[in-house]
Amino acid sequence: MSMNSEGRVTRPETDGSVADAAPRSFTGNRALMLEEALIFERDDYGRSGVDLPEAPAVKSRLGGLERNRAIGLPGLPEPEAVRHYTRLSRQNYGIDLGLFPLGSCTMKHNPRLNEKMARLPGFADVHPLAPVDTVQGALAVIHELSDWLVTLTGMQAVAMSPKAGAHGELCGLLAIRAAHDAQGSDRSVILVPESAHGTNPATAAFCGYRVENIPATTDGRVDLDALTGRLGPDVAGVMITNPNTCGLFERDMKRISDAVHAAGGYVYCDGANFNAIVGRVRPGDLGIDAMHINLHKTFSTPHGGGGPGSGPVVLSEALAPYAPLPFVTKLADGGFRLVEEETADEDHPGSFGRMAAFHGQMGMFTRALTYILSHGADGLRQVAEDAVLNANYVLRSLDGLLEAPFGHAGPCMHEALFSDDGLAQGFTTLDIAKGLIDEGFHPMTMYFPLVVHGAMLIEPTETEGKATLDQFIGALRSVAERAKAGDPALKAAPAFAPRRRLDETLAARKPVLVWKDAALPEAAE
């Protein structure tokens, strides 16, 4: 071991082949890091980890369709199941382990109070089709959260049912389409800046629009002239991310909105980055017509290895009449009513309909509301300030080391964007990412946004302290310097992770998506 100039332990001096230095064990395990076979590779096909009583004998009424073939599902006794999943969990990096600076993904501390509240039986063990009188508390949660979202964004209404950010985009575009339909206009084009999330053009195409790209300026923002020049009677709307995917605030947002409105279109804002402005800026003041809010990002519901998400959509006065079903309204007596298909005709005739079964991600609403109440209006404002402060601290602390294409002139918002300019021949953003893994950090977002070559997008979030950021900055400096110097050991990173570099090309060329064994054992019963 050696020490760096700040007195921290750094990586061991090796020739890069750590495997040789630490020979493989008999089991494949490495002390606390245990290898784990697939459940299908174990001899557990006849077993079960659940005690269930024998079913009483009845004459089957399955329409003669009794299953007559083995399914092929192994069953692990409870201790083995607990070990299997605990061992798997230890091969994962999570925000509980350390900084997770994925730009545009927003990985922040997940308070366990949120989990505790979501698991109250009064929320967790309630059926979506229970009589409305018996679920007044659940409806109150939806209503209270709606109120916060509408007030924080300065908008008119909110659709709670979208199940993720991309589903929220769909909701917003359907509302735009419904509004145009109501006016008898058949506009066919959605303009999408090239710095947008890939979900934006995919969503527009999914609701039947043609997508046209709008270029970015050299300072990383939407090209206002290109956008306004393209507006016309065939343009239904624009989709803008603000703060954008370069980590910058779209300074011209209000001018863009005014121009789009003047041309008869609507403005959709991808609100994935709302945590940068929550409590400090209301999107409604910028002329936005629809914006989804990723509750999991701004309001810390857990990302769980890829979901569930939740993407309520706030709507302007112009689009509010088209909001999807169902939604909750408050009655004069303080109770709550659920507006569904049945009552929509009288109350909400313009609704474009239902976009998912039931009422949305209730389990995420309880978590988000818990987080929001914990922070309050004052705390949420501090959230935006600390998120922006942390990102700018990272940006400026790497001056002179990594190229920040849009970071020369001014501040960024909640994430800092760098490029791979200046690395040694053959070294890329990927090498820096894999080097960071060996330093004990989850890497930043790589190769996104596409407008920057070899992009590295770093989002520290507000729940990181200065000491953590300093350690991360030190680690990133060390790895970047190795990439600039062409250290061959970096090409072999990660050396200390559960796996060395994985061959993604092989996986795509010969896809193996399910486990196949030669012969399925017969069912035990």
Partner 1 sequence: MRYLPLTDADRSAMLATIGAASIDDLFVDVPAEARLAGPIAGLPMHASELAVERHMSRLARKNLTAGDAPFFLGCGAYRHHVPASVDHLIQRGEFLTSYTPYQPEIAQGTLQALFEFQTQVARLYGCDVANASMYDGSTACWEAITMARRVTRRGKAILSAGLHPHYVSLARTMARFTGDQLDTALPTLTSGAPGDDMARVLAAVDGDTSCVVVQNPNILGHVADLSELAARCHEKGALLIAVVTEPVALGAIRSPGEMGADIVVGEGQSLGVGLNFGGPYVGLFACNEKYVRQMPGRLAGVTQDAEGQRGFVLTLSTREQHIRREKATSNICTNAGLCALAFSIHLTLLGETGLRRLAALNHASAVAAADRLSRIAGVELLNDSFFNEFTLKLPVEARPVVRALADKGILGGVSLGRLYPDAPDLAGGLVVAVTETASEEDVETLAQALEAEIAA
The widest CA-to-CA distance across the chain, in whole angstroms, is 78
* Residue type at position 91: Q
Q: How far apart are CA 36 and CA 28, in angstroms?
A: 9
Which CB sits closer to partner 1, 3 or 513? 513
Q: Residue with structure tokens 């590779």?
A: 41
Q: Which of 11, 99, 138, 314 binds partner 1 (CB under 8 A)?
A: 138
Q: Which of 172, 312, 360, 407 binds partner 1 (CB under 8 A)?
A: 360
187 is an interface residue for partner 1 by CB under 8 A: no
Please provide residue 314's backbone torsions phi and psi, each rounded to the nearest 5 degrees: -85, 145
Which CB sits closer to partner 1, 3 or 518? 518
Q: Would you call the peptide bond into 494 cis, given omega within 30 degrees of 0 as the criterion?
A: yes
Q: How far apart are CA 404 and CA 507, in angstroms?
A: 33
User: What mask, x for binding partner 1 by CB under 8 A, covers residues 287 to 326?
Assistant: -------------x-xxxxxxxxx-------------xx-
337 is an interface residue for partner 1 by CB under 8 A: no
Q: Which stretch binds partner 1 (CB under 8 A): 97-105, 227-235, 258-266, 476-484?
A: 97-105
Q: Which of 76, 88, 73 is nearest to 517 (CA)?
A: 73
487 is an interface residue for partner 1 by CB under 8 A: no
329 is an interface residue for partner 1 by CB under 8 A: no
Q: How far apart are CA 203 and CA 198, in angstroms?
A: 9
273 is an interface residue for partner 1 by CB under 8 A: no
Q: How far apart are CA 274 and CA 280, in angstroms?
A: 10
Q: Which stretch binds partner 1 (CB under 8 A): 4-12, 228-236, 250-258, 313-321?
A: 250-258
519 is an interface residue for partner 1 by CB under 8 A: no
* Residue type at position 288: I
Q: Which of 155, 194, 189, 185 is nearest to 173 (CA)?
A: 189
47 is an interface residue for partner 1 by CB under 8 A: yes
Which CB sits closer to partner 1, 2 or 333? 333
Which CB sits closer to partner 1, 2 or 218? 218
Contacts with partner 1 in 390-449 (CB under 8 A)? 390, 392-393, 395-397, 410-411, 413, 433-434, 437, 442-443, 445-446, 448
Total number of residues binding partner 1 (CB under 8 A)? Answer: 211
Which CB sits closer to partner 1, 2 or 131? 131
- Sign of the torsion formed by the C-alpha atoms of 152, 155, 157 and 158: negative
Q: How far is the CB of 470 from partner 1 (least distance, A)?
A: 10
Tokens of 338: 């659920």
Cβ burial of 418 (10 Å; 0-12, 13-18, 19+) is buried
Count other Cβ atoms within 10 Å, centred on residue 410: 11
Which CB sits closer to partner 1, 341 or 481? 341
